[in-house]
Each structure stands twice: as C-alpha cells, then as structure tokens.
Chain A
Amino acid sequence: MASITTADTASLRSSSRSARGDAVFRTLTFIAGAFVFVLLGAIALFLVIKAMPAIKNDPTNFFTTTQWSSSAYGIAATLFGTALTAVLALAIAVPVGVGVALYITQYAPRRIATLLGYVTDMLAAVPSVVYGLWGLIFLLPRMVGIDHFLAKYFGWTGLFHDPAGGLNTFPKTIFSASIVLSIMVLPIIAAISREVFRQVDPVQKEAALALGATRWEMIRTAVLPPSRAGVISATMLGLGRALGETIAVALVIGNVNRVSGHVLVPGGNTIAANIANTFGEAADKGPLIASGLVLFVLTLVVNLAARYVILRAGTEERSAV
C-alpha cells in the first residue's frame, strides 16, 4: 500500500509540472498563431506606409492616370489590363477545367481517372517563369494564325477587332497573355472541381439514372446543382491567381499602357507585369509598391469572396477546397 501512495504523490507532482509544460507549449503555439495575424497586418501596413507618399506625390491622379513614368503614373490602364486578362483567362479556363473535371470524375474508368488526375495536376507544377518562356518563344509566333482567324471572322465583335488583321509577327497582346494565364489557372479550377464533383453522393446519381436520365442529364440533375458553390469558389480562386500572376504575363504582354478592349492589338499591361518590367529602372519604388497595394486589396477581396461562398455552402464542400 505504501508504494502505491508514493506512486500517487509522484504522479500528482509530475502532473503539476506537466501542467506548466502544457502552459508553455500552449503559449508558444499561441504566439505562432498570433504571428499569422501580425504577418498579414504587417504586409498591409508596410505596403500602405510605402505606397501613401507615392500616391500623394503623384502629380496626376493615381487612380485615373493611364501612363506610367517617373513624372506621372497611374494604375488606370494596368488595373484595366489586369482585370481583362484575368476575365478572359477564366472565360477559357472555367469551361475547360470543369469539363476535364467532369470527364475525370464522371466518364473515365477509375484507373485512367487517377492517372489523368495526376497528369492535369502536373500543369500546376510547372513554374510560372517556364510558362512565360514557353509563351514568349513557342506560343507567340503560333498565335499569329489564330489571331488572324479571329480578327477576320470575329473582328465585328469588337473584342477581336484588329486593324492589322492579326498580321503582327510577334503578337504581344492581352489575348496572348490571357491564353498563357488560362493554362496556368486551369489546373486549379480542374483540381477543385474534381474534388467537388467526387463528393457528390453516388445515390443521387443513381436516383437520376433510375429516372431514365442519360449520362449528361444525370450530371445536370444530380452532379452540377450540389457542386455550384464549389465551382464558383474554384473560379474565384483561379481569378485570384490570374490577377496576381506576374512573370508569365510580363514576358508575353505588350507593355503598352492603354485602356482598350481590342485584345488582339499589340500592347496592354497588367499591374504585376508592370512591376516586374519597370522595377529595374525605377529609382523610386514607391509608385510600384502603391500599385502592388491595389493588387493586394483586389486579390484579398476576391479570395475573401471565394471563402465566403464556400462557408455559406456548408461543410461538405468546404473540405474539398
């Protein structure tokens, strides 16, 4: 009996020591968690500190000026280009990405599906600078024919209006940048959509099939409706990526600040590409940081919106994203 008593007191004593250990450990991880707050706050704070003087000292209006030089600078053109390239890229990447995700989850035999999953994920593993190099050297010369075709037959839409008829031999355009971007955001949209589609309860699909639905009707009735929020947030995450992508765009876009919806006319610029392309010669980095702050806020809003959509959709879909 005596020995048990000793053991008891010993364990009691050690438990008070362990309580202290727990408190220390808890504090440490708490600090780490709090650091995330501090970090995000610091990012916003320092960008603002360095951006404000530049915005104030701008002899023109920072938000309405299109040109970018040391004497007068503004984000009107680059912000426009950023939005336009990203939206065009999504217009291509969303249907393709959702299509691939549907093929992999609803059509392909299981073995091939796993393999195709890996292969499409490989698109995300290629560094953006490699896409830029490829876009510049491989894609641009090959865009001539496509641009020519689009300008000839779809020039009337305005979007593809091009007085040169796509005859530029090296089409550094908004459209070229959008194509490269669409390839880069495609794997993000495909991967998330795939997860969302995979989580559809098979009994729903069987219910549709048992009503005599064809496979597409089954997808339309049982797979797509519960996946809507997931696909929307996938699109928004892709949008965030497309808005912020720098190097690939910097290499294939025309670097001409212009607000124009004619995406085949050489030129155009984005905020991120402008930073990369003018950073070297900029004596004052303030204006560039200011434009970066706008980009930060823009991507933050898009990402928050994406998270909000997922949050509202409920837990089943949240785990997929």
Chain B
Amino acid sequence: MTIADSTQSLRRQSLRQASIPRAGVAVLIAGSIGLAFVLFAVTPLQGDADFVVVAALLSVVILVAASWTVEGRRRAIDRFATSATMLALILTLLPLGFVLGYVIKRGAKDFNINFLTHSLAGIGPLDAGGGVYHAIIGTFEQVLIASFISVPLGLMVAIFITEYSRSSLATAVRFLVDVMTGIPSIVAGLFVLSFWILALNQPYTGFAAAMALAILELPIIVRTSEEMIRLVPAALREAAYALGVPKWKTILRVVLPTATTGITTGVMLAMARVIGETAPVFLVAGNNFFINNDPLHGQQASLATFIFINARASSDLQVDRAWAAALTLILIVAVLYVSARLLTRRNALARR
C-alpha cells in the first residue's frame, strides 16, 4: 500500500469538550434582552416588533460569539443554525399574531349583531352604522353556486384520474389540474370577463363571480378528492367486483361513500380558500351597497369586495367597517377550517 496509514489532519480530539451549559445559554439570552432594553431606552429604536427582532438578533450574535470562543467552530455553527431556525419561527409567528390580533382588535369595534344584519343602504361615507348583511348574502351565494358547479365536476375529474388512470389522457389531465392550481385568481376573473361579460354580452352579476370562483375551486377539489379516492382500500373495490357489481356502481356505491368525509373536508377547504377571493369577484360582480338576493341579475357585493372598497376609503367610519368585515370573514373562514378539521378526525381513511 502506497498510501499513508492514517489521515494526519484527523486530530484526535478528546470526547471531552468545553461547552456552555443550559444555564449559561439562559444567562446569555437574558443579557441580550437586557441589552436590547438599554438600546431601546437610549437610542431612537422603538416598537414592539422591532424590540423582539432586535433582542432575538442580539441573542443570536452574542450566543454564537460565546460559543465560538468556548466551544469551537463546529458547535458555534450548530448553535447559529439552531438560533436561525428559531428566528425564522419567530418571524413567522410574529406577523400571524399581529394580523389576527389587529383584525380582532380593530374589528371588534363595529362587530355586532346590527352590523351582521344590516346593509349599507342609505348609509353614506360619513354616517355611522350600516353593516355587511348584503355582502354576506353575496359571499354565500357566490361561493355556494361556485361549489355547485365545481364539486360534481371536480369529483368526475377525480374519478376519471383515479379509476381510469391507465389512459395517457388521465395523466395529462392530472398535470393540467396541477397547473390550474397556479392560475392567479385575477386571471380567472379576467377570463370570465372576456368570455361571459364581453364576448357573450352578459351583465355583471354574482353568478359571473361564482363562475370565476368555480375555476379556482376546481383544482383544489380534484386534488383532495383524488387523494381521498386513492385511500379507499383496493380490497373493498375488489370485494364489490367479486360480487359481480359493475365498475360504475362500485364507484358510486362503494368508493365514493367510503371517501365521503374526506371529500367533504376537501370541499370545505376549497370553499375556505375562495371565500376570501376579492379580485375576480370585484371584476365581474361589481359592487352594491344594497341587498341583492338575486345572483342572476344586477351587481352584488361580497365580504371581500366590501373590505377592499372600504379599506381605502377616506372616512374612518368606512375603515372601521372594513375591519369589522375582515373579522366577519376571518370568523367564517375559521368555522370552515375547524369543521373541516373535525371532519378529518372522524375520517377513518385519512387518519394515519
């Protein structure tokens, strides 16, 4: 053997290594936070979020520096990586907390039963009162119609992809559905505008908005239904075939019922995703300050467009209404998500 017998640079380091104990880490972090306090007291730095970020950054820098001198390069890099991922977590939780907290804080001002049961009919920009009843009606009608269109269609597509998966068309459809998830919502709105309103000369209505929302819901429903159908055990299917049940009956009577909870969850998540869509609704349903129960005639408001229009309004009363509407919208989304989650818990198939 011409090569050396061992790697010279592989230093025989001892198992024992100087390390900063947990208590030491705690002291360093506490010191950094203290230093941040001092900084905020004597320099122009200010703000709660800024304090959290500055304190966190100081902690990382001081901890890593201490680690480098005491524990060496490798441990210092490791500590830096750990701190960096924790910093990332803080940077994620911070905006979430600020968004939700601020929506609740500002939204609570106008949010009451009166707000939910009245429209903006006869309410000017400088009038107090008024509410989102007309927008809630619009939102629900649009989302329900969108679901009525996209759920059966999406289910059929999902069945096509899963049950006839051997055809190359199924593969292509699956790919296109994936691509569809990436279509910006405003493009869906522009399509309905071009096709329905401009080419077919139809009016701006809630139904037009529902069509745009249906396009956005479709890929979500296909994807979740597809997953749920795939989870149905093959043995169940084979048992039905063995009894001489034809394929279409097996799918309708055995596969779909088994996957129902999962599919319902998917539909609710899809609804939660599109219920806050603004751009497409704004483009093809217009806006309305009055109650319009008819999705087929006349412009219609939705909670999302209500927020959008009032957010940039000049009067504080309008901005307050936007916040209360945002709270309403977030509560509806939350209800949808929580019900979807509760359903999943009951879903024997998806529980892994």
Interface residues of A (CB under 8 A from B): 11, 14-15, 18-19, 21-22, 24-26, 28-37, 39-40, 42-43, 46-47, 49-50, 95-100, 102-104, 106-107, 116, 119-120, 122-123, 125-134, 136-138, 142, 145-146, 183, 186, 190, 214-217, 219, 237, 240-241, 243-247, 250-251, 272, 275-276, 279, 285, 288-289, 292-293, 295-296, 299-300, 302-304, 306-307
Contact A219 B278 (CB under 8 A): no
Of A18, A29, A128, most buried by chain B (CB within 10 Å of CB) is A29
A24 to B156, CA, bound (A): 13
Interface of B is mostly: helix
Contact among B179, B311, B334 for A303, CB-based, below 8 A:
B179
Output the least CB separation between B322 and chain A (Å). 6
A40 to B84, CA, bound (A): 42
Output the least CB separation between A28 and chain B (Å). 6
Closest to A25 in B: B248
A243 to B245, CA, bound (A): 49
Task: Please list the 8 inter-chain residue pairs (A to B) with the smallest Cβ-Cβ separation, ordered nearest first.
Answer: A127-B276, A244-B184, A99-B88, A18-B246, A32-B156, A25-B248, A303-B182, A216-B81
Contact A216 B187 (CB under 8 A): no
A250 to B164, CA, bound (A): 43
Contact B183 A99 (CB under 8 A): no
A134 to B99, CA, bound (A): 6
CB neighbours (8 Å) of B100 from chain A are 122, 126
Contact B195 A46 (CB under 8 A): yes
Contact A247 B308 (CB under 8 A): yes
CB neighbours (8 Å) of B93 from chain A are 119
Knowing A21-B248, A22-B248, A138-B98 are in contact, say whether A40-B179 is a contact too (CB < 8 A).
yes
Output the least CB separation between A149 and chain B (Å). 9
Contact A295 B187 (CB under 8 A): yes
CB neighbours (8 Å) of B103 from chain A are 130, 133-134
B91 beta carbon closer than 8 Å to chain A: yes
Closest to B155 in A: A32
A137 to B308, CA, bound (A): 12
A35 to B78, CA, bound (A): 52
Of A25, A129, A137, A217, most buried by chain B (CB within 10 Å of CB) is A129
Contact B186 A307 (CB under 8 A): no
Closest to A31 in B: B156
19 of the cross-chain contacts (CB-CB < 8 Å) are A29-B156, A32-B156, A43-B215, A46-B191, A96-B92, A99-B87, A100-B89, A103-B89, A116-B89, A119-B93, A127-B278, A183-B99, A244-B185, A244-B187, A276-B279, A276-B308, A279-B283, A295-B187, A300-B183
Contact among A34, A133, A183 for B323, CB-based, below 8 A:
A133
A75 to B179, CA, bound (A): 24
A106 to B89, CA, bound (A): 13
Knowing A130-B276, A190-B92 are in contact, say whether A307-B195 is a contact too (CB < 8 A).
no
Contact A36 B180 (CB under 8 A): yes
Output the least CB separation between B197 and chain A (Å). 9
Interface size on B, as a range, is 35 or more
Contact B186 A37 (CB under 8 A): no
Closest to A105 in B: B85
Q: Which of B162-197 contact A (CB under 8 A)?
A: 163-164, 169-170, 172-173, 175-188, 190-191, 193-195
Among B28-36, B46-54, B124-132, B291-299, which stretch is in contact with chain A? B46-54
CB neighbours (8 Å) of A304 from chain B are 179
Interface of A is mostly: helix
A205 to B56, CA, bound (A): 29
CB neighbours (8 Å) of B74 from chain A are 214, 217
A183 to B251, CA, bound (A): 42
Of B77, B91, B184, most buried by chain A (CB within 10 Å of CB) is B184
Knowing A133-B307, A285-B198, A299-B187 are in contact, say whether A33-B160 is a contact too (CB < 8 A).
yes
Closest to A30 in B: B160
B275 beta carbon closer than 8 Å to chain A: yes
Closest to B153 in A: A32
CB neighbours (8 Å) of A245 from chain B are 184
Contact among A50, A122, A216, A250 for B199, CB-based, below 8 A:
A50
CB neighbours (8 Å) of B47 from chain A are 142, 145
A114 to B22, CA, bound (A): 25
Contact A131 B92 (CB under 8 A): no
CB neighbours (8 Å) of A307 from chain B are 175, 178-179
CB neighbours (8 Å) of B275 from chain A are 127
